[in-house]
């Protein structure tokens, strides 16, 4: 038997231009105020959610903040009505979606327990029995007769969970409230929820950012992203896919942090503007009169680099017009030419209408990681469309004017590609990464040309004679990707891109890794004698190869250096170049529930001439 059956559930909110427009729509006065067009924008928080939950299942729901998880749970709990679709619920629901929901801050903990149990139709005898059980489980005896407003967030969570599970609900919804409690109580909650499902066949919907808890507790997991279910399956496989996306975003943050290294800004990555550059594009018809009545449907817009997708807008899909997303369309009613979302056999889309809008165009914005800008790797826009009008132009705003990239191709379901010239991208961004243009800066890795970013440092973060210097330090994961987030026990490669004005005779390369508290976690030291030669070329790449990365889960800071020789007796060692605490990276744990610590690190070395 199924506890929940959700079919094609969508939720749309109307975003009004003014209170007067909201008044007209609420009272159905369109015929009177017929000249007031385009009253609102459509914002779809959820679109076409399909989900079946069996009775007794422990379902985990994961996803970033703002993905639509809470909206879905509020619909299931009956707090919101879906715009479309149907939902069938078999059983009584007890939902914990906000701390202290239904509790009165002026009442004591005991009084709130009694009111909550009364609301659940318990008799006086049942209330008396359950009251002591709740107090015992919550372990807040000293505060039970104090006003709720004196409770900490953790005490709130204890009382709320204990009360919600005292009546053994048929369907229990837990949305992040356990995050306010301590690890000890969270463990008690997990055990109680397991007991509910095993002994009473209760169904639990568990939302948490603690992926370890989700994996240990849940039998099935869904990943909600931008208002739709992106993945569904066994906990380990879904969590791994989600964690991969999170790691990539964290890698972007760490690379951006290193771009500001020790400009006394190393800890100042406070906003997305430090990590991404926003680039504005728009579609505009050559002749707005001729476009009327023509088909110009846009389904997907992707931003790519080297055939790798950086970002994508599912046009017409949920949250495609949300400024909270990294990339989105701009559809302000009366100002832009985007239609409301629609659907056909190819999927969701929006039309470019050629309306008499104020600005007469259909704009969209991409947030591009700064590490992807200016590195000579061309950026490409790909557009999936259905068009029967020749003359829809794609342009990029370069900071002062729009630059023409090309026209959409005619046809049904065609993909049009537009390459963005590097000089236009660099002009459109105030702080694009500076990359040397000389041909000699090319290095080969895996048969691909790689242009490492110059390390931006100041006098406080580097020192040495500079007769030889490090131009870049690049970290590769087990798949050969340049990243700053790595998995325990997976291979890692660290490459020093160096140059020299002198002949290098048996130099020593050092990569020293520190914990955030300053303690040394690992140190890798090697000299060129291991390669059968004491002399190195004046430019090249030195590599440390790690077969199994044996560092504990956490964040690290590393220093990279080239020394003239290695001192084993504590004497001062003359350095060519030291980049002191300039490289940030993170190590994540394989999602198998085993906590790993720090271990001795073995490595191999190599050099590319």
- Judge whether 115 lies within some domain: no
455 and 602 both lie in a single domain: yes
Query: Is 93 part of a structural domain of the chain?
Result: no
Question: Is it the case that residue 29 has pLDDT exceeding 90?
Answer: no
Domain membership flag for residue 94 = no
pLDDT 10s digits, 147-198 = 988 988 788 888 888 888 887 788 988 887 665 556 777 778 888 888 888 8
Domain end, chosen from 389, 424, 459, is at 424
Question: In which element (H, E) is residue 186 found?
Answer: helix 183-199
Mean predicted lDDT score pLDDT of the chain: 80
Please give the Cα distance from 32 to 164 (Å, whole number). 50
Here the tokens at position 96 are: 């914990």
* Torsion angle defined by CA atoms of residues 211, 216, 220 and 224, in that order, rounded to the nearest 10 degrees: -10
> The dihedral of CA 284, 289, 290, 291: what is its sign?
positive
The sign of the CA dihedral 563, 566, 570, 573 is negative
Half-sphere exposure of 380 (CA within 13 A, CB side): 14
Are 370 and 446 within one domain? Answer: no
**Residue 452: which CATH number?**
2.70.50.60
pLDDT of residue 85: 95
Q: How many domains, the chain?
A: 2
Residues 387 and 485 reside in one and the same domain: no
Q: Is residue 99 part of a domain?
A: no
DSSP for 292-352, please give it.
TTS-EEEEEEEEEETTEEEEEEETTSTTTT-TTSSSEE---TTTS-B---EEETTEEEEEB
* In a domain? residue 404: yes
Please, how many CA atoms are within 13 Å of residue 209, restricted to the half-sphere of its CB? 10
Q: Determine the Cα–Cα distance for residues 603 and 601; give it in Å rounded to an integer.
A: 7
Helix axes 109-119, 124-138, angle to 10 degrees: 130
Considering the domain boundaries, does residue 125 fall inside one?
no
Q: Where a domain ends, among 394, 424, 454?
A: 424
Tens of pLDDT, residues 173-185:
888 766 555 677 7
| Local structure of residue 434 (DSSP, 8 states) | P
Q: State whether 463 and 402 are in the same domain.
A: no
- In this structure, the answer to whether residues 418 and 449 fall within a common structural domain is no
pLDDT of 22 > 80? The answer is no
Q: How confident is the model at residue 411 (pLDDT cuts 50, 70, 90)?
A: very high
At 94, is the pLDDT very low, low, confident or very high (cuts 50, 70, 90)?
A: confident
459 & 419 share domain: no
Residue in the block written with tokens 């508290």: 517
Distance CA 277, CA 432 (A): 8
Q: Locate tokens 């002009």: which residue?
A: 427
Residue 426 CA to residue 399 CA, distance in Å, equals 10
Mean predicted confidence (pLDDT) in 234-250: 85
> From CA 61, how far away is CA 6, in angstroms rounded?
15
Q: Average the pLDDT over each of 117-121, 369-373, 448-452 and give the range with the smallest value.
A: 448-452
CA–CA distance, 243 with 246 (Å, rounded to integer): 5
What 3-state class would DSSP assign to 521?
Answer: strand
The reply to whether 470 and 585 lie within a common domain is: yes
| Contacts with 412 (C-beta within 8 Å, 6 or more apart), sequence order | 346, 386
Position 216 confidence tier, pLDDT thresholds 50, 70, 90: confident
Q: Does a structural domain hold residue 587?
A: yes
Q: Please tell me the distance from the alpha carbon of residue 515 to that of residue 219, in angstroms, as a whole number.
A: 36
Q: Closest Cα partner for 168 from 145, 152, 184, 192?
A: 192
Quickly tell me which residue has 């970290």 as its tokens. Answer: 475
Residue 570 binned pLDDT confidence (cut-offs 50, 70, 90)? very low
Alpha-carbon distance values, 42 to 39, 319, 344 (Å) = 10, 9, 18
3-class DSSP state of 154: helix
Residue 180 forms part of a structural domain: no
The angle, 0 to 180 degrees and rounded to 10, between the axes of the packed helices 124-138 and 153-164 is: 140
Cα–Cα distances (Å) from 133 to 157, 166, 197, 386, in that order, read 16, 8, 19, 63
- Is 323 found in the same domain as 405? yes
Select from 361, 393, 424 the last residue of a domain.
424
| One-character DSSP codes across 456-512 | ---TTTEES--SEEEEEEEEE-TTS-B-SEEETTS-EEEEEEEEESS-EES-EEEEE
Residues 500 and 371 in one domain: no
Do 501 and 364 belong together in one domain?
A: no
pLDDT at residue 593 greater than cutoff 50: no
Q: Which residue has the higher pLDDT, 269 or 171?
A: 171
547 plus 448 within the same structural domain: yes
Backbone angles phi, psi at 165, to 5 degrees: -100, 0
Q: DSSP secondary-structure letter at 517?
A: T
Pairwise pLDDT comparison (553 vs 429), residue with the higher score: 553
Backbone angles phi, psi at 321, to 5 degrees: -115, 20
Range of the domain at 518: 440-608
Identify whether the C-beta of residue 479 lies closer than 8 Å to the C-beta of residue 445.
no
Assess whether 580 and 543 both reside in one domain: yes
Instruction: Give tens-digit pLDDT for 488-508.
Output: 888 999 999 999 998 888 888
pLDDT > 90 fraction of the chain, expressed in percent and rounded:
30
**What is the torsional sign of CA 187, 190, 192, 195?**
negative
């Amino acid at each position: 038997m199924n506890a929940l059956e959700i079919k094609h559930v969508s939720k749309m909110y109307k975003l009004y231009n003014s209170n007067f427009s909201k008044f007209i729509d609420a009272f159905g006065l369109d015929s009177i105020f017929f000249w007031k067009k385009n009253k609102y924008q459509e914002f779809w928080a959820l679109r076409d959610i399909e989900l079946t939950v069996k009775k007794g299942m422990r379902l985990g729901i994961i996803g970033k903040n703002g993905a639509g998880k809470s909206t879905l749970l509020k619909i299931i709990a009956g707090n919101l009505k879906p715009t479309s679709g149907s939902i069938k619920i078999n059983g009584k629901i007890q939902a914990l979606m906000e701390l202290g929901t239904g509790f009165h801050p002026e009442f004591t903990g005991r009084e709130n327990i009694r009111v909550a149990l009364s609301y659940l139709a318990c008799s006086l005898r049942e209330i008396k029995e359950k009251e002591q059980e709740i107090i015992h489980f919550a372990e807040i005896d000293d505060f039970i007769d104090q006003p709720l407003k004196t409770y900490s967030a953790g005490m709130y969570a204890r009382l709320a969970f204990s009360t919600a599970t005292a009546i053994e609900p048929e369907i229990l919804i837990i949305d992040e409230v356990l995050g306010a409690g301590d690890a000890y109580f969270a463990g008690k909650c997990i055990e109680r929820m397991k007991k509910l499902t095993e002994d009473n066949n209760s169904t639990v919907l568990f939302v948490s950012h603690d992926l370890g808890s989700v994996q240990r507790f849940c039998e099935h997991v869904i990943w909600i992203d931008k208002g739709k279910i992106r993945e569904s399956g066994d906990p380990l496989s879904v969590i791994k896919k989600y964690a991969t996306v999170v790691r990539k975003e964290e890698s972007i943050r760490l690379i951006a942090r290193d771009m500001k290294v020790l400009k006394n800004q190393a800890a100042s990555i406070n906003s997305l503007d430090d990590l991404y550059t926003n680039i504005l594009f728009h579609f505009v018809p050559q002749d707005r009169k001729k476009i009327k009545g023509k088909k110009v449907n846009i389904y997907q817009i992707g931003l790519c680099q080297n055939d790798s997708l950086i970002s994508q807008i599912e046009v017409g899909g949920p949250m495609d017009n949300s400024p909270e997303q990294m990339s989105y369309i701009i559809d302000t009613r009366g100002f832009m030419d985007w239609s409301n979302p629609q659907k056909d056999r190819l999927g969701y889309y929006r039309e470019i209408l050629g309306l008499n809008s104020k600005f007469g165009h259909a704009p969209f914005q991409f947030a591009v990681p700064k590490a992807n800008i200016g590195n000579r790797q061309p950026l490409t826009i790909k557009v999936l469309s259905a068009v029967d009008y020749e003359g829809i132009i794609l342009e990029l705003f370069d900071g002062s004017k729009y630059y023409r990239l090309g026209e959409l191709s005619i046809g049904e379901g065609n993909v049009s590609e537009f390459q963005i010239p590097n000089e236009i991208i660099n002009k459109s961004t105030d702080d694009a990464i500076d990359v040397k243009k000389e041909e000699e800066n090319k290095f080969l890795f895996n048969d691909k040309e790689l242009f490492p970013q110059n390390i931006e440092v100041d006098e406080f973060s580097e020192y040495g004679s500079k007769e030889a210097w490090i131009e870049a330090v690049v970290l590769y994961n087990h798949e050969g990707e340049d990243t700053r987030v790595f998995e325990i026990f997976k291979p890692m490669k660290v490459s020093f891109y160096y140059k020299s004005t002198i002949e290098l005779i048996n130099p020593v390369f050092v990569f020293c890794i520190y914990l955030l508290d300053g303690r040394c976690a690992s140190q890798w030291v090697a000299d060129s004698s291991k390669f059968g030669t004491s002399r190195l070329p004046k430019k090249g790449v030195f590599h440390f190869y790690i077969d199994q990365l044996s560092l504990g889960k956490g964040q690290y800071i590393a220093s990279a250096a080239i020394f003239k020789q290695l001192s084993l007796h504590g004497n001062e060692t003359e350095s060519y170049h030291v980049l002191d605490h300039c490289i940030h990276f993170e190590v994540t744990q394989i999602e198998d529930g085993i906590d790993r610590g720090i271990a001795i690190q073995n490595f191999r070395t190599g050099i590319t001439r």
